[in-house]
Amino acid sequence: MNTPGTDRPKLADATLSLHAGEGVRNVGEPLNAPPAFSTSFYSHPDAIGFSANDLSPDAPQFYTRWGNPTLDLLERRLAALEQGEAAASFASGMAAITALLFHRLKAGDHLVLSDVCYAGVAELAHDTLPRYGIEVSRVDASRPEAVAAAMRPNTRHVHVETPANPILRLADVAAIARIAHDGGAELSVDSTIGTPLATKPLLLGADYVVHSLTKYLCGHGDALGGAVIGRGDAMAGLRQSNLIHLGGCLAPFSAWLILRGLETLAPRMALHEANARRVEAFLADHPRVRSVLWPGSPRHPQHDLAARQMRNFSGLLAFSVKDGEGPALARRMADRLKVFSYAVSLGKAKSLIFYIPTADILRSSFRLEGPDAESYREWAGEGVFRVSVGLEDADDLIADLDAALGA
């Protein structure tokens, strides 16, 4: 018998995504995916009692909102991939970030937040956190000096997303970690688009890394999930305070689906990247296209940072078109595309595309004005087509886009 995945530094990510966290392997055991423990509760003579306040790290399985064997395996595997000590899984990426921010912040505290990030996070910061007395400053996280300028004596937390949705703008994790720590704050990084195969924020100095497991880590678009990875004591506190008490726990069957997706993460991300490279090159030369944003391209304004910080450039790109044609082209794409699906989300095996008008997202989610709004427009124009490049043949993807774009 042996214990795959426990000697983490000696195993590559492709191996960890298949084996990490399995524990002792006994002769004669099946080699298919571990079962989904779809039960709500367990019987055990050493049960901890009625209150989760008595929960200890070595407590037996008792209630699935507190812990579950399928969730435990997923969390160990995610921690191994990120080279963190522990992970906590949640029902969605938004549940993970919400739990982390409410765990870290209280009335009178200050949060520094990327001004371009997942729309749900931006709206949480704008609409919900201030109601609890939490101050929020939005900054262009691609400029570390802007993060430094936003720090205050009461800044307790900094949250950035890199690459940032939807314009693929990057944040220098190591530089921002130093700024946050010098100011007495902690840093969390949403690395959903990059995945652990691209960037390991904890190794660059971040205190927490957040993932929407719904996207690339699941890979099939059939399960919602989220996770936070970090120090063991921090994850224990997060689990007890805001996972158990806010109730956003991951369902065991969803965890099972995500574990299944993780088994093919490495080959999927390699093909996502290879296909995105081909699609980006096609779009960059198309006469209707104004600009293309993909970190793996030398045309990306921050490609040098991407080359330092990312080992895989992922499959998400964005492009804008000339002469205000975006809305009409979006309608044409929805009608004409045969391989791509005109749909939201990203990270699925099948290719997706969706148009995000700049005026709409600046008004509804980001709420940027003045120079900040102009900076976003420099990247996005009047709107971007967010393209989640899937695993189809690259020639078929290019032909599909070519037919929809027209001459």
CATH 3.40.50.2300 fits 13-24+32-260, yes or no: no
Domain assignments of the chain as residue spans, ordered by start? 13-24+32-260, 265-405
Q: What are 288-305's pLDDT values in tens digits?
A: 999 999 999 999 999 999
**pLDDT tens across 320-362, in order?**
999 889 999 999 999 999 999 999 999 999 999 999 999 999 9
Alpha helix positions (H), 151-251? 173-182, 232-238
Outline where DSSP puts E strands in 58-154: 86-90, 110-114, 135-139
Instruction: Taking residues 380-402, report their average pLDDT.
Output: 97
How many CB atoms lie under 10 A from the CB of residue 55?
A: 18
CA–CA distances in Å: residue 367 to residues 19, 117, 149, 159:
43, 12, 20, 17
At 323 the pLDDT is 87
Query: CATH class for domain 265-405?
Result: alpha beta
Alpha carbons within 13 angstroms on the beta-carbon side of residue 28 total: 0
Of residues 219, 215, 226, 225, the one with CA closest to residue 260 = 219
Tokens for 149, please give them: 């300028």
Neighbours of 328 (CB within 10 A): 10
Which positions are catalytic?
65, 118, 190, 215
Q: pTM of this prediction?
A: 0.91
**Do residues 116 and 146 lie in contact, with contact meaning Cβ atoms separated by under 8 Å?**
no
pLDDT at 27: 66
Start-to-end Cα distance in the chain:
62
Question: Kindly report the CA angle at 331 between 341 and 282, in degrees rounded to 5?
Answer: 60
Residues 93, 214 contacting (CB under 8 angstroms): yes
Neighbour count for residue 372 (Cβ, 10 Å): 18
Strands 352-357 and 383-388: antiparallel
What is the pLDDT, as a whole number, of residue 1? 29
Least confident of 155-164, 199-208, 238-247, 326-335: 238-247
- Whether the pLDDT of residue 261 is over 60: the answer is yes
Better pLDDT: 341 or 248: 341
